[in-house]
Structure 1
Amino acid sequence: MVMLNVVADKLQFEPMTVRLGAVVSGVDLRETLDQEIVDQISDALVKYKVLFFRNQDITRAQHLAFGRRFGELEIHPLTQHKEGFKTQNVDPEIMVVESTAKSQITADEWHSDVTWRKDPSLGSILRCIISPRVGGDTLWADMEAAYEGLDDDTKAEIEDLTAMHDWKPFRQAMYAQPGTEELVKELKAKFPPSEHPIVRTHPVSGRKALYVNNPFTTNIKGKTREESMKLLTKLYRTASTPDYQVRFRWEPGSIAFWDNRSTQHYAVGDFFPEHRLLERVTVAGDRPF
């Protein structure tokens, strides 16, 4: 039996799993959406954590306009310097994510976006322009479910702990490009490591979620390196639990809008040397608590 949740005369959400992911229908993102529809999408984002739209043939301007209905759009301060994330001839709020046979780009590690910022993003809206013939799916993990699945002793251990987050993977990529030393120095001063709670409380729902990820979380404050890595490794693995995941197959005109406060995602790199082109806008967020 298909679960269908009708929240307006035409706007519908079809869940993909019991609690994570829903396909949205009954909306044309080329149109200017009224506030009621925007509010319903916002509420559904908190509930389902990632929303999927099909057959949305929108322009860059429409992509930007849709994103701005949910808040200020942020400009990623680092990826424009990374090979494969070139933003010439596009608005700075748009991140171009393109993989070709000559330049293979993917994010094949479980992560939440820009957790190294003091105020990480609320969420991202990623649209597909060119999809590979095979492969190239993206997965999302429900980090609220990951927290709930922990044993009571681990929950008690991490309740009041904080962890440090850093943009080290981007630095490594930038160092590989000649002449970037001064730029890296400047960005390190502008974006020092950030401290966030390991257990984050969602500002809308009040639900708790794990908020550490392997690429950007470096250590737990107040613990030795060995103690940090032992506990963090245990927490990182929770995102790999299939019961907490939803998987999405990209097609041109597909859009995914995810809540960065309660999910992690993983871009599967099983499509090389196929061509994949996606563009992303990111809604600015607030400081985790």
Structure 2
Amino acid sequence: MTATATTPVLREARIPADGLYEGPRELRRVPEGRPDRPYERFRLIPLGRVIGAEIHGVDLSRPLEAAVRAELDRALLEWKVLFFRDQHLTSRQQRAFAGLWGELETNPLLATGDDPEVARLDRTAVPTFENVWHTDVTFRERPALGAVLQLREVPPVGGDTLWADMAAAYDNLDPEVKERIEGARAVHDFIPGFARFYPPERLAAHQEEFPPVEHPVVRRHPVTGRRTIFVNASFTTRIVGFAQEESDRLLRLLFQQAHAPEFQVRFSWRAGDVAFWDNRATQHYAVNDYAPHRRVAERVAIAGDRPH
């Protein structure tokens, strides 16, 4: 008799649907077909495969030459978040640097520093509300283009910030999910993101100023043209036209795409460090692991355009 190969019979087993699973991921940092070009005005050190780079050789306290600003702009589009060590900027200098990218915006829900256009994030007695993956102020009709954050005081350990490339997150969605969300719009509201920390009286004062707004679930970056996931766990409440249960399920799936480490960069701060990120292309997460120590940051936000 000749032995025949048989396929082993495995017990029935399954894992829940709609999760992040192990395996290869598409990691494309720039739009397809765009060549990598060297930077001539500074030294750039990548910190991640698709997102995050340190910039050396630029003093942000001084006015920037047009050629340096242009090359930094290209670096921002290609790396999504740029880090500058040991800058120690005054509020005026921080505002001047951010202002090179457009009009500045304020957020009445945040405390301010020495200047009304500088938000002060002093995490001591008040609880943090940044330790969730989010994109800043998507409850606005025109969410911020980007932000410049400087750490004034750092805890002895902890207090890192992470950023995720939401174009890479989109690239790795299942094709069926991409088809379902193509052309879909979602509602964004400031109340869910702040209600856990502020009393109703404070939120009610801003309800008319910030009514719910709709944005595309998939945003096209206005410069690079790349598709990005543009919903987040702080401010997105539902997908228009979907039953609530289906909307919740789909949003949970989209929210978790930021959680893949392959799409992320993590930055450990020193006092005086500056981060400049593209809010149109990223989400970020401030790690809340430093209590009872103090962490003080100051942020300047740059007004953006209407997502499409």
TM-score, reference length from structure 2: 0.85
One-letter code of the match for 2:246?
E
Checking the alignment, whether the CA contact within 8 Å between 2:129 and 2:197 is kept in structure 1 is no
Correspondent of 1:203 among 213, 222, 225? 222
Map of 2:251 onto structure 1:
232
For residues 268-289 of structure 1, what are the alpha-carbon distances to aligned partners after superposition, in whole Å with 9 as ceiling and x for unaligned? 0011111111100001100000
Q: C-alpha distance in 2, partners of 1:51/1:105?
A: 24
Are residues 1:194 and 2:226 paired? no
For residues 244-279 of structure 1, what are the alpha-carbon distances to aligned partners after superposition, in whole Å with 9 as ceiling and x for unaligned? 110000101111111100100000001111111110
Map of 1:249 onto structure 2:
268
Q: C-alpha distance in 2, partners of 1:227/1:46?
A: 34
Map of 2:99 onto structure 1:
68
Unaligned runs of 5+ in 1: 80-85
Q: C-alpha distance in 1, partners of 2:100/2:68?
A: 10
TM-score, reference length from structure 1: 0.90
Is the partner of 2:105 in helix, strand or coil? coil
For residues 62-94 of structure 1, what are the alpha-carbon distances to aligned partners after superposition, in whole Å with 9 as ceiling and x for unaligned? 111111111111011322xxxxxx32x621110
Are residues 1:150 and 2:173 paired? yes
Is the partner of 2:249 in helix, strand or coil? helix
Give how far 1:126 is off: 0.3
Give how far 1:14 is off: 1.2
How many pairs were matched up?
272
Map of 2:63 onto structure 1:
32
Give how far 1:40 is off: 1.0
One-letter code of the match for 1:121?
A
Q: C-alpha distance in 1, partners of 2:52/2:119?
A: 23
Q: C-alpha distance in 2, partners of 1:152/1:253?
A: 43
Give how far 1:161 is off: 0.5
Checking the alignment, whether the CA contact within 8 Å between 1:131 and 1:251 is kept in structure 2 is yes
Give how far 1:11 is off: 1.1
Alignment of 1:41-56 (within 5 A): 41-56=72-87
Alignment of 1:86-105 (within 5 A): 86-87=111-112, 90-100=114-124, 102-105=125-128
Please give the root-mean-square deviation of Cα atoms over the aligned residues, in Å: 1.5
Map of 2:9 onto structure 1:
none
Q: C-alpha distance in 2, partners of 1:23/1:172?
A: 34
Q: C-alpha distance in 2, partners of 1:272/1:185?
A: 30
Query: Relative to structure 1, is the Cα distance of residues 191 and 106 closer, same or farther in structure 2, using a 3 angstrom cutoff?
Result: closer
Is the partner of 2:135 in helix, strand or coil? coil
Give how far 1:104 is off: 3.5
Correspondent of 2:163 among 132, 136, 140? 140
Give how far 1:103 is off: 2.9
Query: Relative to structure 1, is the Cα distance of residues 130 and 232 closer, same or farther in structure 2, using a 3 angstrom cutoff?
Result: same
One-letter code of the match for 1:52?
F
Are residues 1:125 and 2:178 paired? no
Instruction: Specify which structure has the higher proportion of helix.
Output: 1
Q: C-alpha distance in 2, partners of 1:25/1:214?
A: 34
Map of 2:39 onto structure 1:
7
Map of 2:19 onto structure 1:
none
Checking the alignment, whether the CA contact within 8 Å between 2:127 and 2:197 is kept in structure 1 is no
Give how far 1:187 is off: 1.6
Query: Where in structure 1 do 4 or more consecutive aligned residues deviate above 4 Å?
Result: none
Tell which deviates more after alignment, 36-45 or 257-266. Answer: 36-45
Q: C-alpha distance in 2, partners of 1:230/1:133?
A: 39
Is the partner of 2:150 in helix, strand or coil? strand
Checking the alignment, whether the CA contact within 8 Å between 2:160 and 2:266 is kept in structure 1 is yes
